């Protein structure tokens, strides 16, 4: 969905937390691929249904390969993960800037950024929580030649092979982590359905070629809206899709305001119970799974009722819906943000009103 979330945030913090020490990071180069070999991880049992929250922060100041951690962007803290795991949530979606992960075209991943993600993955595994890795770049990728973000797979943009190279390296880095899920891209919106299918299919093939078996979340174009999955042409483009691992779902997003943008605190009456219908019918007919990667609503009475209806719908149609992640948590959001789920004080948390509908559908 078309939305302009506030993502560019700057922080002046006097003390910076210590990230993973170099002794925990082993980097090996093979055929030009850099990959991370983690220390042994003690994992709690992993869930079948994936229900949780986006924890925003890693995508802030996106497109800048030289961003400063804890000043210009941040990753989920242990305290945030503890809070959501304690509620019974089983997955967090972690948006990040692809420019910081792979600052040079077709070259090694940034060791420090891989370590930052690994820290989140390792701690989440200890709590029995999956981590969805989400390059939050709207169908674009950083081009180290022009030093700009470029659309992928369109004339004048970056070729699909660049994106496949990124996901090949990411898969090698994290294929030994069973609690990792690969979300290919956040909300592509300029490519045609056919263009985006070609890009995404190449990325899926690159992931599977590494031997990585984890679940892959595949978005459509047109902001991957659930409400427009059929009318946008995404449904027609992806009909009959298969992949070697047979472990994927189509990721859709849905907000409850009048233009589906996630920019308003006014929800459309009756929308919650109906807006997922067409995508659900298509998925059931074609034997696919769907994942609701972003869904959010404000805390007024109408929105709370509509949000509850939409979550109830996913539970009632659990044969299609593999799970969901609410938008959004994150410690750098203003407490005034209308969709915010993270409490003001994690040491003594008071749940936000939206939490009720989520807890009722875990």
Tens-place pLDDT, residues 287-326: 999 999 999 999 999 999 999 999 999 999 999 999 999 9
DSSP string, 171-196: HHHHTT-TTEEEE--S---SS-HHHH
pLDDT of residue 49: 85
Query: Structure tokens of 337?
Result: 């943000």
Q: For residue 26, is pLDDT > 50?
A: no
The residue that leads in pLDDT, 40 or 199, is: 199
**pLDDT average, residue stretch 56-72:** 96
3-state DSSP assignment of residue 142: strand
Sequence spans of domains, the chain: 50-359
Give per-residue pLDDT as tens, 218-244: 999 999 999 999 999 999 999 999 999
pLDDT of residue 181: 98
pLDDT of residue 217: 98
pLDDT of residue 35: 36
Closest residue by Cα to residue 298 from 265, 269, 325: 265
Relative orientation angle of helices 193-209 and 160-174, to the nearest 10 degrees: 40
Question: What CATH number is given for 50-359 in this structure?
Answer: 3.20.20.80
Spatial distance between the Cα atoms of 190 and 252, rounded to a whole number of angstroms: 16
Count of alpha carbons within 13 Å of 51, Cβ hemisphere only?
Answer: 19
Residue 273 CB neighbours (<10 A):
15
Closest residue by Cα to residue 352 from 304, 294, 286: 304
| Confidence band, pLDDT 50/70/90 cuts, at residue 76 | very high
Instruction: Give the bridge partners for 151, in sequence order.
Output: 140
**pLDDT average, residue stretch 193-210:** 98
Q: For residue 151, is pLDDT > 60?
A: yes
Spatial distance between the Cα atoms of 160 and 195, rounded to a whole number of angstroms: 9
Spatial distance between the Cα atoms of 116 and 199, rounded to a whole number of angstroms: 27
Q: For residue 29, is pLDDT > 90?
A: no
Percent of the residues in the chain that have a pLDDT greater than 70, as a whole number:
87
| Cis bond upstream, residue 289 (ω within 30) | no
DSSP 357: H
**Active-site annotation holder among 187, 243, 251, 306:** 187
Mean pLDDT over the full length of the chain: 90
Which of 2-16, 107-121, 138-152 has the lowest average pLDDT? 2-16
CA angle in degrees (0–180, nearest 5) for 258-260-262? 105
DSSP 282: H
CA distances to 94, 202, 239, 253 from 295, in Å: 15, 27, 24, 6
CA quadruple 204, 209, 215, 216: dihedral, nearest 10: -10
| Confidence band, pLDDT 50/70/90 cuts, at residue 46 | low
DSSP 58: B
Which of 33-37, 137-141, 166-170, 212-216 has the lowest average pLDDT? 33-37
Q: What are phi and psi of 8, to 5 degrees?
A: -90, 105
187 is catalytic: yes
Closest residue by Cα to residue 198 from 237, 167, 140: 237
Spatial distance between the Cα atoms of 184 and 163, rounded to a whole number of angstroms: 9
Answer whether 282's CB lies under 8 Å from 234's CB: no
Answer whether 73's CB lies under 8 Å from 67's CB: yes
Q: What are phi and psi of 258, to 5 degrees?
A: -65, -30
The separation between CA 326 and the C-alpha centre of its own chain, rounded to angstroms, equals 11
**Active-site annotation holder among 59, 113, 251, 294:** 294
């Amino acid at each position: 969905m078309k939305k302009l979330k506030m993502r560019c945030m700057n922080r002046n913090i006097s003390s910076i937390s210590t990230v993973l020490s170099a002794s925990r990071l082993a980097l090996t180069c093979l055929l030009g691929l850099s990959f991370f070999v983690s220390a042994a991880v003690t994992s709690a049992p992993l869930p079948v249904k994936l229900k949780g929250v986006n924890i925003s922060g890693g995508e802030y100041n996106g497109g800048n390969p030289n961003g400063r951690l804890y000043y210009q962007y941040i990753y989920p803290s242990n305290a945030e993960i503890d809070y959501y795991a304690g509620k019974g949530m089983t997955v967090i979606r972690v948006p990040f800037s692809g420019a910081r992960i792979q600052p040079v075209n077709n070259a090694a991943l940034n060791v420090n950024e891989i370590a930052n993600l690994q820290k989140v993955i390792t701690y989440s595994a200890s709590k029995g929580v999956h981590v969805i890795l989400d390059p939050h770049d709207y169908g674009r990728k950083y081009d180290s030649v022009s030093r700009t973000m470029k659309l992928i797979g369109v004339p004048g943009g970056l070729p699909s092979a660049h994106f496949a190279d990124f996901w090949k390296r990411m898969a090698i880095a994290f294929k030994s982590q069973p609690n990792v899920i690969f979300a290919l891209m956040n909300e592509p919106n300029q490519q045609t359905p056919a263009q985006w299918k070609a890009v995404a299919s190449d990325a899926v093939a690159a992931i599977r070629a590494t031997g990585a078996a984890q679940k892959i979340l595949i978005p459509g174009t047109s902001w991957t809206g659930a409400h427009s999955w059929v009318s946008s042409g995404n449904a027609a483009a992806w009909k009959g899709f298969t992949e070697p691992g047979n472990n994927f779902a189509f990721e859709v997003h849905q907000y409850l305001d009048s233009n589906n943008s996630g920019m308003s605190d006014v929800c459309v009456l009756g929308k919650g119970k109906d807006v997922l219908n067409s995508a659900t019918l298509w998925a059931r007919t074609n034997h696919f799974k769907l994942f609701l990667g972003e869904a959010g609503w404000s805390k007024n009475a109408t929105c709370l009722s509509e949000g509850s209806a939409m979550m109830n719908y996913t539970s009632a149609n659990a044969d299609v819906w593999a799970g969901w992640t609410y938008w959004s948590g994150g410690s750098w959001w203003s407490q005034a943000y209308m969709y915010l789920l993270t409490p003001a004080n994690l040491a003594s948390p008071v749940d936000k009103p939206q939490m009720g509908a989520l807890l009722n559908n875990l």
